[in-house]
A and B are shown apart, each in its own frame.
Chain A
Amino acid sequence: MSNEAVLHGAATSHDAHGDHHHEHHHHETFISKYVFSMDHKMIAKQFLITGMVWAVIGGLMSVLFRLQLGYPDTSFPWLEDLLGKWWAEKGHITAQGYYALVTTHGTVLVFFVLTAGLSGTFANFLIPLQVGARDMASPFMNMLSYWFFFTASVVMLSSIFVETGPFSGGWTAYPPLSALGDASPGSKTGMDLWLVAMALFVVSSLLGGLNYIATILNMRTKGMSMTRLPLTIWALFFTAVLGVLSFPVLLSGFILLIFDRNFGTSFYLSDIFVNGVGALPNEGGSAILFQHLFWFLGHPEVYIILLPAMGMVSEILSVNARKPIFGYMAMIGSLFAISILAFLVWAHHMFVTGLNPFLGSIFVLLTLLIAVPSAIKVFNWLTTLWRGNIRFTPGMLFAIGFVSLFISGGLTGIWLGNSALDIHLHDTYFVIAHFHIVMGVASMFGMFAGVYHWYPKMYGRYLNNTLGYIHFWVTMIGAYLIFWPMHYEGLAGMPRRYYDYSIWESFKNFVELNKFISTVAMIVFATQLLFLLNFFYSIWKGRKVTSQNPWGSNTLEWTAPINPGHGNWPGEIPEVHRWAYDYGKDGREFISQVEPIGADESHH
C-alpha cells in the first residue's frame, strides 16, 4: 500500500516541487544556477558549450594533420613555436605528433563532441520540455552526469600535455599498442589517462542514459502517450537504450585492458616480442577479443551518435515543411529496427582480423539488413519534403543537408558491409570517407540543425541568419569537397593512418588532391569559427524572440514561456490531446499538441 501511496502521490508532489523551484529561482546563487545547476536546460547548455570547446580542439587537430598530409614537403616554422618540439620539429608535424593528433581527433570527436555534445545537449534540453516534465527524473544524477563528463574532459585534455604525449594508437585503442607501455611513446602515461578519461565518460553516459530512459517512460504529461511523442524523443530514447546496454561492455573491455597494462595479465596478449625487451611471458590471450568487446560498443556507438540527429532532423523537416512527418509509425519502427541491428553487426569492423569467414558472412547479412530501416527513413524524409511549403531557415537547410549526407555516406556503407569488398577497402581512405560523411559530418549537421532550431528556446534570441546561411553553404559544399575525393583515393588503395604518402610512387598522383582536400578542410574549419562567433554573439546581442512559438511548431516546448525558469511551465503542465505533427490539417497551418481535438475535425 505504501508503494501505491507514493506512486499516486508522486505526480503531484513532483509538480509542487517544480513550482516551488520556479517561484524561487531568483534566489539561486551563481554557483547553483550556472555551475552545479540541476536545471536540465542549464545542464544542456553546459554539455553544448563543453562539446563546442572539444569540437574546436578536435577540429584544430584535423587541420594540423591535414597540413601534414597536404603539404608534407613544406616547412611551417611557426608550428614548432606553437606546439613545441614533441609535436612539430623543423616546421613539420612529427610522426609521433601525427599519430597522437589522429588518435585524439577520433576519440574527442566520437565521444566528447558527438556523444556528449550532441545527445547530452539535446537529450537534456528536449526530453523534459517535449514530454511535458518539470525536469529530469533525477536532476541530481543529471548534474553528476555532466560533472563526470567534465572530469573526463579534464583528464583527456591533460593527457595531451604529458611528456610522452597522448595515446597515439588510434581511437579504437587496439592492443598490443594500447596494452604495452613499451609499444610507443603514447602507450605510456597518455594511455593511462585515456583509459581513466574513457571510464569516467562511461559513468557519465550511464548516469545520463538511465535518467533519459526513466524520464521518457515515467514522466510524460497527461495525454502524452508514446505514439504522441515527437520523433526527437523516440530517437533520444533509443539512443539512451543503446548507451545503457553497450557502454558497460566497453567498460569491461577497458578493465581487462587495465589489468593487461598494469598487473601482468594476458587477456589480449600472446606471442609478443618487443625490441630491446625480448619475448614477453604473456601467452594465451587474444587481441581479437578486445576488438570484439570494443566494437560491441563501437557499433552501437555510431548509432548513439546518429539517432539523435535523425530524430531532430525528422522534427525540423516536418515543422519547416509545414507538413506532418510522413510515416510516423514507420519512423519509430525503423528507429527500433536500427537499434536492434546495431547490437548484432559489430564484427563487420573486423572482417580482415582473421574472423571466422562463416561468422563473417552472417555479419554481412545482418549489416546489409540495416539498409532497410535506413532507406525507410530516407524515403520518409524525402516524402515529408515533397510538396511541402518549405521555409529555408538555417536549421532546415542543415536538416536537408543531413539527409543528403546520410544518403551519400549510407550508400558506401553497403559496399563496406560486404566482407569480400572489404578485403580491398578496409583501412583505406574509402572507409574514412564513408564514416566521416555518414556519421561525422551528418551528425554534425544534425547538431547544427538542432542548435539553429532550438536556439530561440535556449537563449530567447535568434542566431544571425546571414551568418547561418554562409555557415551552411560553406560547410555543405566543403564537406563534399573534402570527403568525396577520398573515395577515389581509397579505391586506388591509399591506406589510412599513414604519416607521409609522398614517398610512395603509387600515390604520387594524389599529391595535388591531398593539397586540395587540406585547403578545403582549413576553409571549412574557419567557417565553424564563424558559427561560434554567431553563437556567442547572439547569446547577448542576438535578435530577441518576441513570440512564444516562433516556428509555429506543435510540440510542447513552445508552450512554455520564452525564457522558462526551472520547472519549465509557470502553472500546470499542459495536457496533451494529439500527436506532434498536425501541420496543414483542415486548412490550419499548425495545431499545437495541447489543443483538444475538435468535434468536426478530420482524422489524420
Chain B
Amino acid sequence: MSTATTATTKWWNGGKSPFNVEYGKLMMWYFLMSDAFTFGAFLISYGTIRFSTNGWPDPNEVFQSFPGLGSGHPLMFVSLMTFILIISSVTMVQAVKAGHEMKKNKVVINLIWTIIGGAAFLGCQAWEWNHLHAEGAWWGHNPFLNADGTQSSTNFTNYFFTITGFHGFHVFSGLVINIVMLIMTLNNTFEKRGHYLMIEKAGLYWHFVDLVWVFVFTCFYLI
C-alpha cells in the first residue's frame, strides 16, 4: 500500500489525484466549503444586524429552561445538546475508522449510536422550539426584551429560528444520510464494493454539522 507514495511522488503531474483522495471525497470537501459560506453568510448577517441595533436580548434570560426542571437554568439545556452532538461525532469517527478496517459489525454499531445521537439532538431542538413558541416567540414575534430593558426588534427570534432551523435541517439530512449508510452496510453493499469510503464522506458531512453547531452555539447562546 505504501509503495505508491514515495519521497519522489510528483503529486501534480497528472494521472493521479494531487491530494491522494478520490473525487467524491474532494467534492464533499468543496461542497462543505460552499456550505460553510452559506452558514457564514447567515451568521455574519446576524452579526451585522446585531451590530446595527442598539440593544439585544440576553440569551441567558431567554434560554433558561430545562425539561422537567422548569426555568432558571441558563445554558444547561444547550450544553446537553452540544455534548450530544459532540458524542455523536465521536461515534461517527469510530464508524469511519471501523470502515477503514473493514469491520462491518463495528461500523453498524457506531452508526446506530450516531443516528441515536442525531435523533436525540433533533428531539432536543424540537422541545426547545416548542417551548419558545409557547412563550410567544416565532418568526416575526419576539416576546423578549433587550438586556437593558428596552423593546427588542423581532430580529432576535427571526435569526434564531432561521439559523437553528437551517442547522436542524442539516442535522436531519445528515440523519437521513446516516440511515441510508446503515442500510447499505447491513446489505453488505460496502463489503461487496471492497471499501467503506461512502461512510467517510457521510462522516465528513456529519462532522461539518457538528462544526456548524459550535459556531451557532457560541453566537446565539454564549455571546
Which A residues are within 8 Å of any B CB, using their own CB? 1-8, 10-11, 131-132, 137-138, 141, 206, 209-211, 213-215, 217-226, 228, 244-249, 251-253, 255-256, 259, 263-267, 282-286, 289, 292-293, 296, 575-576
A576 to B12, CA, bound (A): 13
Q: Contact at B15–A259, with CB atoms within 8 Å?
A: no
Q: Contact at B35–A248, with CB atoms within 8 Å?
A: yes
In angstroms, how far is the closest chain B Cβ from the Cβ of A335? Answer: 17
Interface members, chain B 88-127 (any A CB < 8 Å): 99-100, 102
**Which of B31, B40, B166, B195 interacts with A2 by CB under 8 Å?**
B195
Q: Contact at A2–B100, with CB atoms within 8 Å?
A: yes
B219 interface residue (CB < 8 Å to A): no
Residues of A within 8 A of B20 (CB): 7
Residues of A within 8 A of B197 (CB): 2-3, 6
Q: Contact at A225–B195, with CB atoms within 8 Å?
A: no
Which B residues are within 8 Å of any A CB, using their own CB? 1, 4, 10, 12-24, 26-27, 30-31, 33-35, 37-42, 45, 48-49, 52-53, 99-100, 102, 139-141, 153-155, 158-159, 162, 166, 194-197
Residues of A within 8 A of B194 (CB): 2, 5-6
Q: Contact at A265–B4, with CB atoms within 8 Å?
A: no
Residues of A within 8 A of B45 (CB): 252-253, 256, 267, 289, 293
**Which of B4, B16, B37 interacts with A246 by CB under 8 Å?**
B37
Residue of B with least CB distance to A241: B30
**Which of B4, B19, B41, B158 interacts with A252 by CB under 8 Å?**
B41
In angstroms, how far is the closest chain B Cβ from the Cβ of A129? Answer: 15
Q: Contact at B1–A4, with CB atoms within 8 Å?
A: yes
A2 to B10, CA, bound (A): 22
**Which of A1, A245, A286 interacts with B52 by CB under 8 Å?**
A286
The 4 closest A-B pairs by CB, nearest first: A284-B153, A264-B140, A222-B15, A252-B41
Q: Contact at B48–A2, with CB atoms within 8 Å?
A: no
Q: Contact at B153–A249, with CB atoms within 8 Å?
A: no
**Residue from A3, A137, A247 whose CB has the most chain B CB atoms within 10 Å:** A3
Q: Contact at B14–A220, with CB atoms within 8 Å?
A: yes
A252 to B159, CA, bound (A): 12
A4 to B196, CA, bound (A): 12
Q: Contact at A224–B196, with CB atoms within 8 Å?
A: no
**Residue from A10, A132, A248, A259 whose CB has the most chain B CB atoms within 10 Å:** A248
A282 to B140, CA, bound (A): 8
Residues of B within 8 A of A214 (CB): 23, 26-27, 30
Residues of A within 8 A of B21 (CB): 7, 218
Residues of A within 8 A of B195 (CB): 2-3, 5-6
Q: Contact at B139–A265, with CB atoms within 8 Å?
A: yes
Q: How many A-B residue pairs have CB under 8 A?
A: 168
In angstroms, how far is the closest chain B Cβ from the Cβ of A174? Answer: 15
Q: Contact at A267–B41, with CB atoms within 8 Å?
A: no
**Which of A215, A221, A224, A245 interacts with B34 by CB under 8 Å?**
A245
Q: Contact at B27–A249, with CB atoms within 8 Å?
A: no
Residues of B within 8 A of A252 (CB): 37-39, 41-42, 45
Q: Contact at B17–A289, with CB atoms within 8 Å?
A: no
Residues of B within 8 A of A284 (CB): 49, 53, 153-155
**Which of A215, A217, A225 interacts with B13 by CB under 8 Å?**
A225
A2 to B99, CA, bound (A): 9
A575 to B14, CA, bound (A): 9
Q: Contact at B162–A2, with CB atoms within 8 Å?
A: no
Name 7 interchain pairs, CB-CB below 8 A, sorted by A.
Answer: A6-B194, A217-B17, A218-B18, A264-B154, A267-B159, A282-B154, A283-B154
A576 to B30, CA, bound (A): 27
A285 to B49, CA, bound (A): 7
Residues of A within 8 A of B22 (CB): 6-7, 10, 218
Q: Contact at A267–B38, with CB atoms within 8 Å?
A: no
A3 to B201, CA, bound (A): 12
A252 to B196, CA, bound (A): 33
* Secondary structure type dominating chain A contacts: helix
Q: Contact at A245–B37, with CB atoms within 8 Å?
A: yes
Residues of B within 8 A of A3 (CB): 100, 195, 197
Q: Contact at A292–B49, with CB atoms within 8 Å?
A: no
**Which of A5, A244, A266 interacts with B158 by CB under 8 Å?**
A266
Q: Contact at B30–A2, with CB atoms within 8 Å?
A: no
Residues of B within 8 A of A141 (CB): 27
Q: Contact at B27–A138, with CB atoms within 8 Å?
A: yes
Residues of A within 8 A of B140 (CB): 263-266
Residues of B within 8 A of A210 (CB): 27, 30-31, 34
Q: Contact at B100–A244, with CB atoms within 8 Å?
A: no
Q: Contact at A249–B49, with CB atoms within 8 Å?
A: no
A210 to B10, CA, bound (A): 24
Residue of B with least CB distance to A247: B34
Residue of A with least CB distance to B10: A225
A215 to B22, CA, bound (A): 11
Q: Contact at A220–B27, with CB atoms within 8 Å?
A: no
Residue of B with least CB distance to A283: B153
Residue of A with least CB distance to B5: A4
Q: Contact at B15–A267, with CB atoms within 8 Å?
A: no
Q: Contact at A225–B12, with CB atoms within 8 Å?
A: yes
Residue of B with least CB distance to A213: B30
In angstroms, how far is the closest chain A Cβ from the Cβ of B178? Answer: 20
Q: Could you list 18 further interchain pairs (A-B, Cβ under 8 angstroms) beyond the known A7-B16, A265-B162?
A: A3-B197, A5-B195, A7-B17, A206-B34, A217-B17, A217-B26, A218-B18, A218-B26, A220-B14, A245-B34, A249-B40, A252-B37, A253-B45, A255-B162, A264-B141, A266-B154, A285-B155, A296-B41
A133 to B196, CA, bound (A): 25
A131 to B18, CA, bound (A): 14
Q: Given contacts A226-B12, A286-B49, are A245 and B33 in contact (CB under 8 A)?
A: yes
Q: Contact at A249–B37, with CB atoms within 8 Å?
A: yes
Residues of A within 8 A of B33 (CB): 244-245
Residue of A with least CB distance to B21: A7
A247 to B159, CA, bound (A): 20
**Residue from B23, B139, B153, B196 whose CB has the most chain A CB atoms within 10 Å:** B23
In angstroms, how far is the closest chain B Cβ from the Cβ of A329? Answer: 14
In angstroms, how far is the closest chain B Cβ from the Cβ of A286? Answer: 6
Residues of B within 8 A of A226 (CB): 12
In angstroms, how far is the closest chain B Cβ from the Cβ of A221? Answer: 6
Residues of A within 8 A of B153 (CB): 266, 283-285
Residues of A within 8 A of B158 (CB): 259, 265-267
Q: Given contacts A4-B1, A259-B162, are A217 and B37 in contact (CB under 8 A)?
A: no
In angstroms, how far is the closest chain A Cβ from the Cβ of B29? Answer: 9
Residue of B with least CB distance to A293: B41
Residues of B within 8 A of A255 (CB): 42, 162, 166
